[in-house]
Structure 1
């Protein structure tokens, strides 16, 4: 080897990531894979993962043995090296954000349902805050739920919740 080849090899070595940095990157990929294993099947389909990675994740979801699941996580981490992990991570973050948004809408809808059942004055406040397509239908449904509550029936309770949630989602999605 001549001096130029040695200099090139030294530069390549200095530019290469250290062993510690590579290990950290592999652990991050494995952690991302573990997050994917915890997802339900319908959300996994939304991520559009390669088939071999999807099969490994589905297999990991079925494994109960600690040693076997650890090895499967390592295998998933290895498969993650060959895919665009950043795009998967961003899609996963979007998916989690959607989930958080739907949870917030759910809790807000529950809160409004309880407020509307507690007092009629809250209906005007709700109507001021959210555009209601049919106020008479909402008012009638609230009355029915109150009557059913006295008779220990809950047929329209869920219907009221769904109506409130659709009204809130309509305002948020505008």
Structure 2
């Protein structure tokens, strides 16, 4: 009677190959690097275990290259016990918030540029119609000053102030 041992090269036996295990560890280490690179506020939102939080905090104290490499292997090992789906969902939510913030920011930049470039009152009236609570006198003054600065090739001090006013009016 012979015992059939699974062939280490046979991936269909249910056991992943050594290369596959290495690639999974590298992916977990890369995810750990992303977590380490996050700000403390963003990291606090992640559903991490105490062991993982400690490993992340410990990373900042390691100075040697080899020590950091070994520590990242440890981080990868700890990552195996984490809820990767929940972590990925939080990453996706943070990324969506960032994209939304960027889109709003670009929309406000477009308002600033439109106000400065459009000499007619159309842009000004359109902005006031969208944001009726804006300080109209300050808006007109900053727009006029920003146009003047642009024509005289001066630093965009008023354009920055105009953007700040637009951002505050939009509630950001």
TM-score, normalised with respect to structure 2: 0.73
Structure 2 residue 110 is the aligned partner of structure 1 residue 106: no
Task: Between 141-150 and 72-81, report the one with greater CA deviation.
Answer: 141-150
**Per-residue deviation at 1:56?**
1.3
- Residues 29 and 81, structure 1, Cα contact 8 Å, conserved in 2: yes
Counterpart-to-counterpart distance in 2, 1:59 and 1:165: 41
Task: Specify the alignment match of 2:81 in structure 1.
Answer: 82
Task: Tell me how many residue pairs correspond in the alignment.
Answer: 159
- Residues 27 and 77, structure 1, Cα contact 8 Å, conserved in 2: yes
| C-alpha distance after superposition, 1:42-90 (max 9, x if no partner) | 0000113112211211222344432222222111111001111222122
TM-score, normalised with respect to structure 1: 0.72
Structure ranking higher in helix proportion:
1
Uncovered stretches (5+) of structure 1, i.e. residues with no partner: 170-174
Task: Specify the alignment match of 1:122 in structure 2.
Answer: 123
Uncovered stretches (5+) of structure 2, i.e. residues with no partner: 150-155
Counterpart-to-counterpart distance in 1, 2:15 and 2:143: 70
Structure 2 residue 147 is the aligned partner of structure 1 residue 146: no
| C-alpha distance after superposition, 1:27-49 (max 9, x if no partner) | 11111111111101000001131
**Per-residue deviation at 1:107?**
2.2
Task: Specify the alignment match of 2:152 in structure 1.
Answer: none
